[in-house]
Amino acid sequence: PPIEWARRVYRRLPLTPAQRHRIGTAVNRWRRRSPTATSAPSVTQEPAGALRASREADVFVFAIIDWHFRFQRPQQLARALARRGHRVFYLSNHFADTREPGFQLEALDAELPLYQVRLNARGAPPIYFGPPDENTLTQLHAGLAQLLLQARPTRALAVVEHPWWWPLAGALPNATSIYDCMDHHEGFGNVPEPLLAMERRVVLESDLIIATSDWLGQRIAADRPDVLLIRNGCDAQHFGQPPPAIHHDTRGRRTIGYFGAIAEWFDIELVRAVAQAHADARVLLIGSDTVGARDQLADCLNVEFTGELPYDALPSYVHAFDVCLVPFKVVPLTLATNPVKVYEYLAAGKPVVAVDLPEMAQFGKLVRVASDRAGFVAAVGEALRETQDDQRVEARRAFAARQTWAARALAIDEALQALAEPRVSVVVLTYNNLALTQRCLQSLVDASDYPNLELIIVDNASTDGSRGWLHEFAARRPGTRLILNDRNLGFAAGNNVGLREATGEFLVVLNNDTQVTHGWVRTMLKHFRRHPRLGILGPVTNNIGNEAKIDIEYATAEEMAERAAEYTLRRGGRLHPLRTAAFFCVMLRADVYRQVGDLCEDFQIGFFEDDDYCRRVEAAGWDIACAEDVFVHHELSASFGKLPGEERQRLFERNLRLYESKWGEWQPHRYRAEQAAGGEQQ
């Protein structure tokens, strides 16, 4: 047929992988437009109510393959996590080629909260040949923000399957990130250095690292000794029971079979040797042939190719196999491989012959392993002569039954539960204003969503009943520490009392006239992980005298949460440098506090102690920034506002002189030029 002739010509063309990808993308686009083409899966932009809410963390899989490609680890894990109660968004590496930001949503299972997402990206760039450029990344961020505004996840899990995604996945708010390392990317031979550098970032910055093979785990361990081994698995039920129709050879020959990719790592000459040594058997190869194996083996009349087959059709063929093959070249790429097909072969109870790869050791005597061509051919002959042995067949099936995708998903959830997140100590200094204190502390309880949080409340001798209420609050909240000063020590000295008692790796100074928003702790921590020289970080807010102030309007706490989400979700992962972070809310590394020391108490009740501290942090070589993806409501000067005007002015002028005696002329804070809350930064 013409299409087959075209494929043969295409295979012989001296094209680079990038050129082949571009040609394939163009052909697929033409086929989708053709009236005779098979219709693509339907996609919808569903209303928010159509997305089923979940009590578990929402999972965002930043995928290495499209859902409708060969069904393997990425899809299997996504489905298994959905079965565990997670709402799963599978972000395809196939993009919608359009100028406008956005996404298409495809419901994948009528019974599960499982969706494929195709983000819009002009040019539909491939993910395998270089990191995304800035224009692509900007468009993807905007599209992901639209998805987040529709889905409204409260807690997220980012599963990264290819380093190309990291600039996007690493910015997901209130998320724990997992790098599921399933390939030795350098082994492909055509991966550019910028992508390999991106992978090194993923390894260093992800919260949890998973390797699919021991070889990969050892390679990563130099940078991340906490790497977790979670091998591939199988759907033992899918492959275990013989289907009604089995594709036996019409000529009655025994079948030596293989399914999977027929690519650069597939040993064509090894298969030739098997076919020639067992000329009375059929050698059946199932999968996409991207290296011209069909042409190279055309002289072997007992070798047959089916092309790519649907996952649901594979059991009909596997149960016709008398021997199953893993005929790979021994190269760095395959040394790192944990072949899914071995589990699936064993689930069907079939004899398996494989080349001697490191991951074969786990199967013991269940798999015949050969280290050279002659030994491989001999092992195939031995497997063909194997007599029916129910005990041997049952041992294979029993092993596979323990290696389920459900078990792998459970292992991921258990690893997440055991994950040690850094301790964060929040110091809240109070002085009267009980109603504001109550709202502040309640927001910490409701919106922090962080288990390893130490709350230290320091009261500066309040006289409005705050101390009695704080006693009751601390008694109800295990782990809360309440420190009652016998006099008003002022802002700097009062906070120093709490900071000295803090035990966290990260410290937060939080005014009692603030209200935090959902997931603020984890989202701020992600910036520190991505920026090793970041010393102090503040949020954006509605009310402050510097660049952290944004244009935002709301009348109630509910409206505040809504408007804040609309603002921050559009700015995931973004921060901008600050000269001075206002200490109504700042997070700093404990290492910075130990290096720089306490807030200067010479400023007495307040004014300029935050400017002074930032100059000291700056002098120590640390950066200061504002997180655009975290919003904290601020009343501003709830305590200072009650001072008489003349007293405030005297205090301001006194402390200004003190500051300038140490640091030179004070530079007044300024605002950034920014559009309304829903817009983009100019």
For the stretch 225-259, pLDDT in tens is: 999 999 999 999 999 989 989 999 999 999 999 99
Confidence class of residue 649 from pLDDT cuts 50, 70 and 90?
Answer: confident
Residue 418 tokens read as 């055991």
Residues 155, 174 contacting (CB under 8 angstroms): yes
Sheet holding 103-107, edge to edge: 103-107, 114-119, 88-91, 58-62, 156-160, 175-181, 208-211, 228-229
Q: So what's the pLDDT on residue 5?
A: 47
* Higher-pLDDT residue of 164, 664: 164
Distance between CA 492 and CA 481 in Å, rounded?
Answer: 19
Place of tokens 């029993």: 398
Q: So what's the pLDDT on residue 317?
A: 97
User: 2-6, 142-146, 194-198: lowest mean pLDDT where?
Assistant: 2-6
pLDDT of residue 656 exceeding 80, the answer is no
CB atoms within 10 A of CB 164: 25
* DSSP state letter for 2: H
Strands 103-107 and 453-459, sheet pairing: unpaired
Going by C-beta distance under 8 Å and a sequence separation of 6 or more, which residues neighbour residue 63? 74, 90, 91, 92, 93, 161, 162
Q: So what's the pLDDT on residue 188?
A: 57
Residues 433, 639 contacting (CB under 8 angstroms): yes
Residue 531 host element (H or E): none
Residues 80, 88 contacting (CB under 8 angstroms): no
Average pLDDT over residues 644-660: 71
Residues 279, 380 contacting (CB under 8 angstroms): no
Residue 263 tokens read as 């690519």
CA distance from start to end of the chain:
56
pLDDT digits (tens, 9 = 90+) for 261-302: 999 999 999 999 999 999 999 999 999 999 999 999 999 999
Residue 531 tokens read as 């920026």
SS (H, E, C) 97-127: CCCCCCEEEEECCCCCCEEEEEEECCCCCCC
The widest CA-to-CA distance across the chain, in whole angstroms, is 104
Q: So what's the pLDDT on residue 186?
A: 67
In terms of Cα–Cα distance, which of 519, 526, 628, 505 is closest to 577? 628
Average pLDDT over residues 483-504: 95
In terms of Cα–Cα distance, which of 597, 619, 603, 620 is closest to 657? 603
Distance between CA 269 and CA 282 in Å, rounded?
Answer: 16
In terms of Cα–Cα distance, which of 458, 462, 467 is closest to 494? 458
In terms of Cα–Cα distance, which of 379, 373, 383 is closest to 349? 383
In terms of Cα–Cα distance, which of 164, 161, 169, 224 is closest to 195? 164
In terms of Cα–Cα distance, which of 607, 605, 585 is closest to 536? 585
Quick one: 197 exposed, middle or buried, by C-beta within 10 A (0-12, 13-18, 19+)?
Answer: exposed
Q: So what's the pLDDT on residue 679?
A: 34
Buried b (16+ CB within 10 A) or exposed e, 264-279: ebbbbebbbbbbeebe
Helix then strand then coil, in percent of the chain rounded to 5, is: 40, 20, 40
Residues 569, 144 contacting (CB under 8 angstroms): no
Phi/psi for 473 (5° steps) reads -60, -50
Residues 63, 107 contacting (CB under 8 angstroms): no
Confidence class of residue 389 from pLDDT cuts 50, 70 and 90?
Answer: confident
Distance between CA 208 and CA 159 in Å, rounded?
Answer: 10
Q: So what's the pLDDT on residue 642?
A: 59
Confidence class of residue 537 from pLDDT cuts 50, 70 and 90?
Answer: very high
pLDDT digits (tens, 9 = 90+) for 436-453: 999 999 999 999 999 999
CA-CA distances (angstroms) from residue 378 to 148, 278, 368, 381?
56, 10, 10, 5
pLDDT of residue 521 exceeding 50, the answer is yes
Task: Report the percentage of the chain scoring pLDDT > 70.
Answer: 87
Distance between CA 308 and CA 262 in Å, rounded?
Answer: 10
Q: So what's the pLDDT on residue 181?
A: 95
Q: So what's the pLDDT on residue 61?
A: 98
Length of the chain counted residue by residue: 682
Phi/psi for 491 (5° steps) reads -65, -55
pLDDT digits (tens, 9 = 90+) for 99-125: 999 999 999 999 999 999 999 999 999
pTM assigned to the model: 0.86
In terms of Cα–Cα distance, which of 654, 655, 576 is closest to 612? 655
Rounded to 5 degrees, what angle do the CA atoms 516, 519, 524 make?
A: 85
Distance between CA 209 and CA 203 in Å, rounded?
Answer: 7
pLDDT of residue 11 exceeding 70, the answer is no
Average pLDDT over residues 45-54: 49
pLDDT of residue 604 exceeding 80, the answer is no
Amino acid at 235: D
Spell out the alpha helix ranges (H) of 59-133: 73-83
Q: So what's the pLDDT on residue 605?
A: 67
Q: So what's the pLDDT on residue 139?
A: 96
Q: So what's the pLDDT on residue 46?
A: 47
Quick one: 391 exposed, middle or buried, by C-beta within 10 A (0-12, 13-18, 19+)?
Answer: exposed
Residue 229 host element (H or E): strand 228-229
Q: So what's the pLDDT on residue 435?
A: 96
Task: Specify which of 7-11, 38-42, 128-132, 401-405 reaches the highest per-range mean pLDDT.
Answer: 401-405
Amino acid at 649: Q
Q: So what's the pLDDT on residue 350?
A: 97
pLDDT of residue 473 exceeding 60, the answer is yes
In terms of Cα–Cα distance, which of 137, 126, 200 is closest to 167? 137
User: 505-519, 561-575, 658-672: lowest mean pLDDT where?
Assistant: 658-672
Task: Report the percentage of the chain scoring pLDDT > 90.
Answer: 77
Residue 58 tokens read as 């929402």
In terms of Cα–Cα distance, which of 280, 282, 286, 288 is closest to 259? 286
User: 53-57, 516-520, 532-536: lowest mean pLDDT where?
Assistant: 53-57
pLDDT of residue 76 exceeding 60, the answer is yes
Strands 282-286 and 303-307, sheet pairing: parallel
Residue 461 tokens read as 């001798």
pLDDT digits (tens, 9 = 90+) for 287-342: 999 999 999 999 999 999 999 999 999 999 999 999 999 999 999 889 999 999 99
Mean pLDDT of the residues in the chain: 88
Spell out the alpha helix ranges (H) of 303-432: 314-318, 332-335, 340-347, 373-384, 390-402, 405-418
CA dihedral over 216, 219, 65, 67, signed as positive or negative: positive
pLDDT of residue 54 exceeding 80, the answer is no
Residues 333, 313 contacting (CB under 8 angstroms): no
Rounded to 5 degrees, what angle do the CA atoms 306, 307, 309 make?
A: 90
Place of tokens 């599209």: 143
